[in-house]
Amino acid sequence: MTMRNSLMKFLLQEDVNFLLTNRLPRRALTTTMGRLAKVENPLLAKPMMGAWRFFSGADLSEAAEPHYKNLRDAFVRALKPGARTYDPDPNILASPCDANVGACGTIDGDRLYQIKGAPYALSDLIPDPAVAAKVRDGRYITLRLTAGMYHRFHAPSDMRVTRVTYLSGDCWNVNPIALKRVEKLFCKNERAVIEAELPDGMPVLLVPVAAILVAGIRLNFLDTEALLREQGSTPRRCNASVTRGEEMGWFEHGSTIILFTPPGFELADGISEGSAIRAGQALMRRSS
């Protein structure tokens, strides 16, 4: 096969992937999938879980439960105690989740990237200028959770959550193909801005971004019985102390968490775009 033919085949595969995951009625498909994922009838649940495991490569060997009645419960599974350990160094921010590392580095004023060559503005992702100013010129790291990964996320350090703002939006797929083709994708999708402070008062922001299909975000310290979108868009002040590694919430489908810090942090050793990382591994460290 010539190089030209190989390139055409690759582009065709990209086109098909983008069509199947983004040009269908995303919100309707997401709502329908959310309902089907909760069905416990084995005639539906078993084929759905089988297809999910086959296409996603999900490994349930670390799951806390040996069997699940529906796809939703398998997807948001807890892990066995001790399955993830968290770097204890107080100068380290640990990864809040299992993920593939996406775009990361220094925020250039208000500018950062969703993928190489695709910039977006911090102020578009985080509309409150006072909140965005906390991390201006700081560091960011994009963590993408694929469909088969463990989907709960945890505190990267001892910290205090002070406010959560829900932002309604679309549910575009967040895979690299979509990130390359959809301008400012993270700024268009449903998301939450979680404001927190480290023990010394330094601010940290976590922005979980929902995606196509179930597209749900739940936060333990607010209410695990209702999806975040069901609680409205009014910013919610809180005073929730969480310890390093403590579960903060989960996604009900594959998505992304973007972690932001002010200046004074750098990426930990071995962290770069394309790295695979597990919850608890060193993600950022304070600059010397």
Q: State how far the Cα of 261 lies from the Cα of 138, in Å rounded to an integer.
A: 6
Instruction: Supply the residues annotated as catalytic.
Output: 98, 154, 255
pLDDT score of 28: 66
Distance CA 206, CA 105 (A): 15
Q: What is the pLDDT, as a whole number, of residue 60? A: 93
Query: Per the structure block, which two tokens stand in for 180?
Result: 């390359």
pLDDT, average across residues 259-270: 96
Look at residue 82 in the predicted model and tell me its pLDDT: 92
Task: Report the predicted TM-score, pTM, of the whole model to 2 decimal places.
Answer: 0.88
Domain with CATH 2.70.70 in the chain: 92-286
Q: What is the pLDDT of residues 167-176, one digit of tens each?
A: 888 887 888 8
- Compute φ and ψ for 132, nearest 5 degrees: -60, -35
Using CA atoms, how far apart are residues 126 and 123, in angstroms rounded to an integer?
A: 5
Tell me which range, 22-36, 71-85, 230-244, is most confidently predicted by mean pLDDT.
Answer: 71-85
Task: Report pLDDT for 227.
Answer: 57
Report, as an integer, the average pLDDT of 20-49: 77
Does domain 92-286 match CATH 2.70.70? Answer: yes
pLDDT of 24: 64
Walk across the sheet containing 282-286 and list its strands.
Answer: 92-94, 282-286, 265-267
User: What's the whole-number mean pLDDT along residues 99-126?
Assistant: 94
Asked which of 56-70, 96-110, 119-133, 163-177 is least confident by mean pLDDT, the reply is 163-177
Q: How confident is the model at residue 13, as a pLDDT?
A: 47
Query: Average pLDDT of the chain?
Result: 86
Residue-wise over 121-155: b if at least 16 C-beta within 10 A, else e? Answer: ebbebbeeeebbebbbebbbbbbbbbbbbbbbbbb
The 10s digit of each residue's pLDDT in 171-196 is 878 888 888 888 999 999 989 999 99
Convert the pLDDT of each residue in 124-155 to its tens digit.
999 999 999 999 999 999 999 988 899 999 99
What's the pLDDT tens digit per position in 212-254? 765 678 888 886 555 566 666 678 899 999 999 999 998 876 6
Residue 281 above 80 pLDDT? yes
Q: What pLDDT sits at residue 178?
A: 84
